[in-house]
Amino acid sequence: MRRAGVVAIALLVAIGAVSGAVRTYVILNHDAQFLLRIQKTIYGSFTRDTTFVVLWTRELVVIEERFAKHDRIMLVHAAAGGAFLLLALLQFSSRLRLRYRELHRWLGRVLAFLAIASGLAGLFFGVVIPFAGAGEVTSTGFFGALFVFAIVRAVIAIRAGRIEVHREWMIRAYAVALGISTIRIVGSLLQTFTPLSIRELIGVMFWLGWGLTLAAAEAWVRMTRAPTPRA
């Protein structure tokens, strides 16, 4: 189970980090067509129905235009989020924590800043200027707020010396961050087997992707929680 979890996490981190890097490249180089070409190729591999490919491409253009209008906020979301996914992995290494405790503390402060910055930027797109209506607003609002809350709760816990509580809330926060990658996998499957548009699928994708990842993390937290001594 532990090995399967490591493989799954590595896959999700890779997807999220690559997505963040590509998005950062697109914003810095003002090359939205680069991303659109990639996405169109991917969609074309899902189905031979050109009608749906055209529909998805049109919706992607609308989404990219929304991001382009707020490119600085998207840059914060993508760059900070990608960095958080990669660097936070180091914090879960017991060897690094024991050998480099001061590095662990300082990196934790940096990660908390990156997480809150990326989380607030994501809330802006999903709640303030949503593309897909209520499904996007509710899912992004719930999991985005949970992400920021988990980070704050973890910081408060470690400052109070409650290491186990800190660990559990950081696992939950990291699970929400990884959920962005799970959403992409779930979305790819749904787009393959359902004739729905992106606008119609986003709410389902978000709830399923984030929900499944957070459920797995919560199960791991409870399985590895230290037993409470009885009076």
Would residue 105 count as lying in a domain?
yes
Query: What values do phi and psi take at 207, rounded to 5?
Result: -65, -45
From CA 89, how far away is CA 110, in angstroms rounded? 13
Would residue 166 count as lying in a domain?
yes
Query: What values do phi and psi take at 197, rounded to 5?
Result: -80, 165
Which residue is associated with the tokens 């001594």? 229
CB 176 within 8 A of CB 210: yes
Would residue 231 count as lying in a domain?
no
Would residue 73 count as lying in a domain?
yes
From CA 176, how far away is CA 154, in angstroms rounded? 14
Q: What is the pLDDT of residue 33?
A: 75
Q: What is the pLDDT of residue 127?
A: 95
Q: What is the pLDDT of residue 97?
A: 83
Q: What is the pLDDT of residue 125?
A: 94
Would residue 8 count as lying in a domain?
yes
Q: What is the pLDDT of residue 94?
A: 83
CB 76 within 8 A of CB 117: yes
Exposure string over 91-116, b if 16+ CB within 10 A, otherwise e: beeeeeeeeeeeeeeebbeebbebbb
Would residue 229 count as lying in a domain?
no
Q: What is the pLDDT of residue 43?
A: 64
Would residue 230 count as lying in a domain?
no
Q: What is the pLDDT of residue 155?
A: 95
Exposure string over 123-135, b if 16+ CB within 10 A, otherwise e: bbbbbeebebeeb
Range(s) of the domain holding residue 62: 2-223
Q: What is the pLDDT of residue 129?
A: 93
Residue 192: exposure state from Cβ atoms within 10 A (0-12, 13-18, ≥19): exposed
From CA 212, how far away is CA 220, in angstroms rounded? 12
Exposure on the CB side of residue 62, measured as CA atoms within 13 A: 13
Total domains present in the chain = 1
Residue ranges of the chain with per-residue pLDDT less than 70: 40, 42-53, 227-231
Would residue 94 count as lying in a domain?
yes
